Homo-oligomer: A and B are copies of this chain.
Amino acid sequence: MNFEFPFQQLPAVMQGPRIERRRILIGGSSFWGTMQDDGQLRLDDGRVVDAEAACYLPPVNPSKIIAVHISYSSRSFETRNKNKPTETPTYFTKPPTSLNGHKGQILKPADCKYLNYEGEYAVVIGKTCRNVTPDEAWDFIEGFCPALDMGLQDFRDTDQGSMLRVKGADSLLPIGPGLVRGVNLFEQTLRTYVNGLVVQEAHIGDETIWGPHYVIADLARHITLVPGDVILMGTPCHSRSVDPGQVVECEITGIGRVSGTVVAIPAPRAAALGVGHAPTDSPEVRRVALGFDERVPEHFKENLRHSRGG
């Protein structure tokens, strides 16, 4: 773990009071508001609305979205098949068109089988950032959001590792409901739920391999991060496939809980013409989509079966 925990002095973005900003759509206009202690959302214009009933937009507007492949020890163990993890984090990207809001529909094309969840937290950049040290990096963070880095693992075989087709399709990044600062991230626990049952869990302080400050300093070696950019911080073990009708959620305690419902859409027209890469059901695809069970806590697997009514 590349950070001292507990900190001598907590970074400003993790010092209280907790502030949660959400953005909602009301009849064609978007409005920002701040969550109140009573669970209601006070819009900036003075209206108080029922946060449960609101229609959410992503609380971010990134020019780029960068994701860490592996940042949890349990996921590192799982995907590396007991080999040692990489010595530094590695990254891929998702296009802005993959953004989705809280309570979003996560689209599963009819010709795909393996739409996998990955519960994560996102870090949102607040100031232009380039060539910084990990200690300095905290100052460039505006806040944190729960996120679901969904992936169409049917395309695992293609794109030579960039995962553009796996992770880049429209709707595959539900994020929100809010953008939160004033919470000590390293005291929080990440949990992913399918139909309300826990299928991933990790204590962020205990299991994080590289903190966001390290990742920002690494990325900003050569890439300028600009306000609004989003960094997805990786998922713990037990990423698995879900089907239309299932509800997937990622909760970061103290930060929030984002949800999405899997919805079927038609196969693309180009598919019927044989144009482009077809979803594939290869051993490599199945290896990643269905996962290694070794060392995955048994109740995660059971919960996932139950979520399917199995």
A residues whose Cβ falls under 8 Å from a Cβ of B: 2, 21, 25-29, 31-32, 44-47, 55-58, 63-64, 66, 69, 86-93, 95-105, 107, 109, 128-134, 152, 158-165, 168-171, 174, 176, 214, 217-224, 226-227, 260-261, 265-271, 273, 275-277
Is B217 a contact of A270 with CB atoms below 8 Å?
Answer: yes
Is B224 a contact of A268 with CB atoms below 8 Å?
Answer: no
Is B131 a contact of A221 with CB atoms below 8 Å?
Answer: no
Find chain B residues with CB under 8 A from A103 CB.
27-28
- CA gap between A174 and B128 in the complex, in Å: 22
Is B221 a contact of A168 with CB atoms below 8 Å?
Answer: no
Is B162 a contact of A47 with CB atoms below 8 Å?
Answer: no
A88: which of B2, B56, B158, B168 is its contact (CB, 8 Å)?
A: B158
Find chain B residues with CB under 8 A from A261 CB.
27
The 3 closest A-B pairs by CB, nearest first: A161-B161, A28-B101, A218-B276
A130: which of B32, B95, B158, B176 is its contact (CB, 8 Å)?
A: B32
A223: which of B64, B66, B97, B266 is its contact (CB, 8 Å)?
A: B97
Interface centre among A28, A221, A267 (most CB of B within 10 A): A28
Find chain B residues with CB under 8 A from A93 CB.
93, 95, 162, 164, 168
Find chain B residues with CB under 8 A from A87 CB.
277
With both beta carbons as reference points, the residue of chain B lying nearest to A86 in the complex is identified as: B158
Chain A to chain B contacts (Cβ below 8 Å), 26 pairs: A2-B275, A27-B100, A31-B224, A32-B130, A44-B128, A44-B130, A44-B224, A45-B131, A45-B268, A46-B265, A47-B265, A47-B266, A55-B55, A63-B63, A66-B164, A86-B158, A88-B158, A88-B276, A90-B158, A91-B165, A93-B93, A109-B221, A132-B270, A168-B223, A170-B223, A221-B271
Is A45 a contact of B92 with CB atoms below 8 Å?
Answer: no
- CA gap between A220 and B45 in the complex, in Å: 9
- CA gap between A109 and B131 in the complex, in Å: 12
Please judge, given known A-B contacts A170-B222, A223-B97, A268-B46, whether A277 and B130 are in contact too, CB under 8 Å.
Answer: no
Find chain B residues with CB under 8 A from A224 CB.
31-32, 44, 97, 170
Is B270 a contact of A90 with CB atoms below 8 Å?
Answer: no
- CA gap between A260 and B29 in the complex, in Å: 11
Interface centre among A96, A158, A160 (most CB of B within 10 A): A160
